[in-house]
């Protein structure tokens, strides 16, 4: 049994930020993945609503429900007892009102033992952020490419390319920080924009495809290990191809079952001769 590491807490994250030690963050959706993430010592673990695409096979994150998220967050927490666990607020769990936002954020804390929540948006969600923070729940903001707004953003593409658009992201980051967000994720914004926001920020800035000049980095687990069959975004680095390992294994299994090479004698169990005789006698009695 591996030794349990110390629980990651907000002061631990801010301490790393102050010491310029980059923060590590990955998405995670289930127990076996979370177990590996824990062993690797990842700081921040996001149960992302990207599970709608990576696990449930939808075309977007929009169909994901609070109940989907809670079930997966519970499994992830069982696998990573010490990671700083963030529940990602799914579509329509916070957009309607401050009250629904607080109640749904509270579910992540009460039912899945999360350490905080993440929601998408800038100035327009600041009243949600304030309400959730006032309820004692840490909030991570999410700017740039925000997948729940993919339709109005015109697709999964770089955000903040013009000076004017970039200024809006810079302003949104400041607004989130002022509203009480404990960290901000920047997804797919230009490197220099991420650097400007990081230099101005008093809370950790995490980059997903936004360059090296943030306080930490995030990658989507399924992109890292070749587990999402539809596409791998350019920003994702592949650290292994578990998808290929599994596909090769399944092909071999099909071959072995069809050729009757599997199962081998050491993988199944017999019954004692006398018990077999008794079984046959009982069956014969039934048929008499």
Q: How far is the CB of 220 from ligand KIV (least distance, A)?
A: 6
Q: Is 223 in the site for ligand KIV (CB under 6 A)?
A: no
Catalytic residue status for 99: no
Q: What's the token pair of residue 157?
A: 């593409």
Q: Taking CB positions, which residue lies at the least distance from ligand KIV?
A: 48
- Site membership for ligand KIV, residue 159 (CB under 6 A): no
Q: Residue 219: beta bridge partners? A: 26
Contact residues for 222 (Cβ-Cβ < 8 A; gap 6+): 27, 54, 228
- Token digits of residue 85: 């666990």
CB of 209 to ligand KIV, least distance (A): 9
The verdict on 181 binding ligand KIV (CB under 6 A) reads: no
Alpha-carbon span 89 to 61, nearest angstrom: 11
Determine, following the binding rule CB under 6 A, whether residue 185 of this chain makes contact with ligand KIV: yes
- Supply the minimum distance, in Å, between the C-beta of residue 51 and ligand KIV: 7
Closest Cα to residue 158, out of 201, 120, 121, 193? 193
Q: Residue 40: is it exposed, middle or buried by C-beta count within 10 angstroms (0-12/13-18/19+)?
A: exposed
Q: Binding to ligand KIV by residue 48, rule CB under 6 A?
A: yes
With CB under 6 A as the contact rule, the residue among 88, 115, 172, 177 that binds ligand KIV is 88
Instruction: Decide whether 137 or 256 has the Cβ nearer to ligand KIV.
Output: 137
- Applying the rule CB under 6 A, the residues between 227 and 286 that interact with ligand KIV are none
- What is the rounded distance in angstroms from the CA atom of residue 193 to the CA atom of residue 176? 16
Cβ atoms of residues 94 and 101 within 8 Å: yes
Residue 50 is a binding residue for ligand KIV (CB under 6 A): yes
| Catalytic residue ranges | 187
């Amino acid at each position: 049994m591996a030794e349990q590491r110390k629980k990651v807490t907000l002061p631990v994250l801010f301490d790393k930020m102050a010491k310029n030690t980059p923060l590590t963050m990955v998405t995670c959706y289930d127990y076996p993945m979370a177990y590996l993430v824990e062993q690797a010592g990842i700081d921040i673990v996001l149960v992302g609503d990207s599970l709608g695409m990576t696990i449930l096979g939808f075309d977007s994150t929009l169909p994901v429900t609070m109940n989907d998220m809670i079930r997966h967050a519970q499994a992830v927490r069982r696998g990573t007892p010490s990671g700083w666990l963030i529940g990602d607020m799914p579509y329509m769990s916070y957009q309607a009102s401050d009250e629904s936002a607080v109640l749904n954020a509270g579910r992540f804390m009460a039912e899945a033992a999360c350490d905080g929540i993440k929601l998408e948006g800038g100035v327009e969600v600041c009243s949600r952020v304030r309400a959730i923070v006032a309820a004692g729940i840490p909030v991570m903001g999410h700017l740039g490419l925000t997948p729940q707004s993919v339709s109005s953003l015109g697709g999964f593409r770089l955000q903040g390319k013009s000076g004017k658009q970039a200024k809006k992201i810079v302003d949104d980051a400041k607004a989130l920080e002022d509203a009480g967000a404990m960290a901000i994720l920047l997804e797919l914004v230009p490197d220099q924009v991420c650097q400007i926001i990081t230099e101005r920020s008093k809370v950790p800035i995490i980059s997903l495809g936004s360059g090296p000049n943030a306080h930490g980095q995030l990658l989507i687990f399924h992109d890292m290990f070749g587990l999402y069959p539809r596409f791998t975004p350019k920003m994702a680095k592949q650290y292994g191809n578990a998808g290929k390992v599994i596909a090769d294994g399944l092909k071999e299994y099909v071959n072995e079952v069809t050729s009757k090479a599997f199962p081998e004698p050491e993988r199944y169990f017999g019954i004692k001769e006398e018990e077999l005789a008794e079984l046959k006698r009982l069956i014969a009695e039934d048929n008499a």
